[in-house]
Amino acid sequence: MSDDELEALVSRSDGWVIDHDNKEFYAGLAAERLLVDRCRSCGRWQHPPKPICPACWSTDIGAEEVAGRGTVRLWTVYRVFDPVLGGVDPAGARIVTVDLDEQVGLRLTSKFIGSRDPAVGDRVTTRFVDRAGSPFPVFVLDDGAEAT
Ligand SMILES: [Zn+2]
């Protein structure tokens, strides 16, 4: 994806602020891939994106794809005005913070979609849904099937 294509996508998405450090993460979302920063010197994953590895202080950082599977560490219900929906969903959005399998402490927070509430310790996987014309990652219960 070129910078112009990324800018066009970002211009349709509310609330995304793209900078040098996070542009690969958002370009990944546009392609329905989770690209997370990884230190090329020591191999440590980090999210959100930062220009320096907090473990070895290397600036040799690059984005690599993660599987998007993990374990629910915490969750909450978030009730706020959603400009995409044009109002407040009375049921709120269930938000989960997930420990990704790639590394202890590597966490990603996003919306949870499922027929029941999530629980701490649930195994989840990433799915992409359409949000205002752009792919948006959500977590769903991992039923053991391979992610598609
Ligand atoms: Zn490092």
> Which domains occur in the chain, in start order?
1-65 (no CATH), 67-143 (2.40.50)
92-113 residue pLDDT tens: 889 999 999 999 999 999 999 9
Confidence label for 23 from pLDDT (cuts 50, 70 and 90): confident
pLDDT value of residue 14: 60
Distance 104 CA to ligand 1 centre (A): 15
User: What is the whole-number distance in angstroms between the Cα of residue 142 and the centre of ligand 1?
Assistant: 30
The pair of structure tokens assigned to 103 is 């590394």
The model's pLDDT over 36-85, given as tens digits with 9 standing for 90+, comes to 999 999 999 999 999 999 999 999 999 999 999 999 999 999 888 777 66
Sequence-distant (≥ 6) Cβ neighbours of residue 25 within 8 angstroms: 35, 36, 37, 47, 48, 49, 63
Confidence of residue 120 (pLDDT cuts 50, 70, 90): very high
Q: Which residues surround ligand 1, an ion (CB under 5 A)?
A: 39, 41-42, 44, 53, 55-56, 58
The alpha carbon of 49 and the centre of ligand 1 are apart by a number of angstroms equal to: 13
